[in-house]
Amino acid sequence: MPMPATPDKKELIAKISSYINDESCADFNSLACQLFAYQFEHIPLARAYFEKCGVSPGSLERFTAIPPIGLNIFKRYELFDESSCLKTFRTSGTSGKGRGSSCFAADDLELMRLAILVNAKATLFADQQKTRFMMLVPSPLDAPDIIMAHGMAQIAEEWATEPAFYAISKGAFLGPEAVAYLQKCIADQAPVTIIGGSFGFVNFIDKVAPDLGSLPLPLGSRVLDAGGFKGRSRELTRADFLTMMADFFHLPAEQCLNLYGLTELGSQFYSRGHDAKKPPHWTRVRICHPLTLEEVADGGEGIALLYDLTNVARPLAILTDDLGRRLGSGFEISGRASGSAPRGCSLSLEEIR
């Protein structure tokens, strides 16, 4: 089969941007195959791996045949096209197993921003209501290489009614100031969005609940946590966490969202309350057997394999070290594969007392 013409990066980003804005304007498989052809041509280390796997743009018919790159590879090699890297995000590396990194050129950052805002509009702000913001994550100034800090700041810029309040500054937790900020929101009856690492919420509530009892947030408030609890000093189920949000903030489960993302990806995956995560239409998630990479049956558990069209300059197919469960057209993350390091954002926030 002859090699198809390789699209240039500008053309690809334009097509993917249009697809993010309007799912009907293109086909995921076609875009993924075009993106693979670009990465085959412009990411030399990835091409060597693809060739070893016997897959080339000329032989690829379905995106599921793209050989995925394991997260451990990002800790050893730079997988990036020939673009000029403007920003590098890094994993935490707190386990001593090394820090993975992901480079973004200016056009990659713009594409990621589009994906972040379109996704947030459809999920976190599906009601289209702007709110105040309190952040249980560092600001991008304090944590310039943490991708969650970068993305959440962009959401706040788009959806906040006033500048966001950061309850973590220079590694310190501003507990009294955070309580005062929320009490002001309550007094003003101004809805507030609280964003943080999963364990950051637990630490905040553990610290202030003995004195306050609860802080019933105004109608229209919501929380977004990320990172989970596996491998932490204290583990909570999702049901436990939602009960904590109901008891302390008086928030119903449908106003509590969870975010799953990776430093190596430009997109994120949301779930609401007890529901499964639904991949945005410019991504695909397959829960696969760890040895064969065959997709498991509905309800089965395996390794999460992610495909993200916003990964133009970096490999679009990522084999994670997260255990997931396939749930119809959605999925849930159920833990980490044996020997994996705890996920960074929640771990770093656990250390802030």
Structure tokens at 141: 């100034």
- Residue 344: predicted pLDDT: 42
Contact in structure between 38 and 6 (CB atoms under 8 Å): yes
Other CB atoms within 10 Å distance of the CB of residue 22: 10
Kindly state the average pLDDT of the residues 132-154.
Answer: 96
The pLDDT of residue 7 is 81
Place of tokens 């970096």: 314
CA 32 – CA 307 distance, rounded (Å): 8
Q: How far apart are the C-alpha atoms of 316 and 301, rounded to whole Å?
A: 22
Q: Supply the pLDDT for residue 218.
A: 98
Question: Would you place residue 191 in the very low, low, confident or very high pLDDT band (cuts 50, 70, 90)?
Answer: very high
What pLDDT shows up at residue 180?
98
Extended beta strands in the chain, E state: 69-70, 87-90, 101-104, 132-136, 165-166, 168-169, 172-173, 192-197, 222-226, 256-261, 268-272, 283-288, 301-308, 317-327, 330-336
Residue 111 has pLDDT above 70, yes or no: yes
Q: Which residues of 315-331 are buried (b: 16+ CB within 10 A; e: fewer)?
A: bbbbbbbbbbbbbeeeb
Give the C-alpha separation, 286 to 329, whole Å: 10
Do residues 242 and 207 lie in contact, with contact meaning Cβ atoms separated by under 8 Å? no
Using one digit for the tens of pLDDT, what is the confidence trace for 293-324?
Answer: 999 999 999 999 999 999 999 999 999 999 99
The arithmetic mean of pLDDT across residues 271-281, rounded, is 98
pLDDT at 346: 41
Predicted pLDDT at 96: 44
Q: If you average pLDDT over residues 224-234, what whole number do you get?
A: 75
Averaged pLDDT, 210-222: 97
Q: Answer yes or no: pTM beyond 0.85.
A: yes
> What pLDDT does 347 receive?
36
Distance CA 252, CA 325 (A): 25
Number of C-beta neighbours around residue 104 at 10 A: 24
Handedness of CA 196, 197, 200, 204 (dihedral sign): positive
Distances in Å between the alpha carbon of 121 and those of 44, 128, 155, 266, 309? 36, 7, 9, 16, 19
Q: Mind listing the pLDDT tens digit for each residue in 74-103?
A: 889 989 998 999 999 998 754 445 678 899
The mean pLDDT value of the chain amounts to 92
- The whole-number pLDDT of residue 228 equals 78
Residue 219 pLDDT exceeds 60: yes
pLDDT at 345 over 70: no
User: What pLDDT, on a 0 to 100 scale, did the predictor assign at position 231?
Assistant: 57
pLDDT at residue 337, as a whole number: 79
Instruction: With a cut of 90, say whether residue 338 has pLDDT above it.
Output: no
Q: Residues 336-344: what's their mean pLDDT?
A: 57
Per-residue CA distances from 289 to 11, 14, 72, 303, 319 (Å): 35, 35, 18, 6, 11
Cα–Cα dist 238/244, whole Å: 10
pLDDT-based confidence at 230, cuts 50/70/90?
A: low
Going along the chain from its start, the domains and CATH numbers come out as 108-350 (3.40.50.12780)
Distance CA 142, CA 171 (A): 8
Helix 28-42 to helix 44-52 angle (10° resolution) is: 110
pLDDT of residue 176: 95
Q: What is the pLDDT of residues 5-52, one digit of tens each?
A: 678 999 999 999 999 999 999 999 999 999 999 999 999 999 999 999
What residues pair up with 257 in beta bridges, in sequence order?
A: 224, 272
| 17, 20, 150, 280 from 25: Cα distances, Å | 10, 9, 29, 15
- For residues 203 and 137, give the distance between their C-alpha atoms in angstroms, rounded to a whole number: 12
Structure confidence at residue 4 (pLDDT): 57
Residue type, position 101, single letter: S
Q: For residue 266, how far is the Cα from the chain centroid?
A: 8
Average pLDDT over residues 63-74: 95
